């Protein structure tokens, strides 16, 4: 039957931003690795895909923002991130879980080498 390998990269791989060039490059490498592995593993019926989320409302983001001033300043930064996303909000864990479940499901049986942007339109 094969299987599914799913990895996570970042929308920064698709739509880079200034001042984080090496971060963007490393995430881009994950996209290329996904595509290369998809080709290598296709004969074994193993699908390989990745998710590319935008900034997510998680404890990791909270920890990253904690060094940028008080709670008011951190809130302003979160609002700034959300303002750059056409759907107007950060990604959340349910968004990622839904995308992952889809890519792992039989409904995505013919998808391999795909980098699914879970970004509310940010990479458009």
Q: What is the pLDDT of residue 81?
A: 87
Q: What six digits make up the tokens of 49?
A: 């895909």
Give the catalytic positions in this structure. 23
Domain count along the chain:
1
What mean pLDDT, rounded, does the chain reach? 93
Using the predicted structure, report yes or no on whether residue 69 has a pLDDT greater than 80: no
The answer as to whether 123 is a domain residue is: no
pLDDT for the residue numbered 78: 85
Whole-prediction pTM value? 0.87
Give the mean pLDDT of 98-118.
98
Confidence (pLDDT) at 70: 83
**Structure confidence by residue, pLDDT tens digits, 70-95:** 888 888 888 988 999 999 999 999 99
**Residue predicted with more confidence, 63 or 119:** 119
Residue 32 pLDDT more than 80?
A: yes
- 9 touches 51 (CB < 8 A): yes
Edge-to-edge strand ranges of the sheet holding 46-53: 3-8, 46-53, 115-118
Q: What is the CATH number of the domain that holds 59?
A: 3.40.50.720
Question: How far is 45 from 82, CA to CA, in rounded Å?
Answer: 38
Q: Is residue 101 part of a domain?
A: yes
Instruction: Examine residue 124 and state whether it is found in any structural domain, yes or no.
Output: no
Domain of residue 69: give its range.
3-118
Residue 78 resides in a domain:
yes
- Percent of the chain predicted with pLDDT > 70: 100
């Amino acid at each position: 039957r094969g299987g599914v390998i799913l990895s996570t990269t970042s929308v920064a791989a698709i739509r880079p931003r200034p001042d984080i060039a090496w971060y963007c490059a490393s995430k881009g490498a994950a996209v290329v690795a996904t595509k290369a592995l998809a080709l290598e593993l296709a004969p074994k019926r193993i699908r390989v895909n990745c998710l590319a989320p935008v900034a997510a409302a998680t404890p990791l983001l909270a920890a990253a923002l904690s060094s940028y001033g008080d709670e008011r300043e951190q809130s302003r930064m979160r609002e700034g991130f959300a303002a750059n996303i056409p759907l107007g909000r950060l990604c959340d864990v349910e968004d990622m879980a839904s995308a992952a479940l889809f890519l792992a499901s039989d409904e995505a049986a013919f998808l391999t080498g795909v980098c699914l942007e879970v970004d509310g339109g940010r990479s458009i």
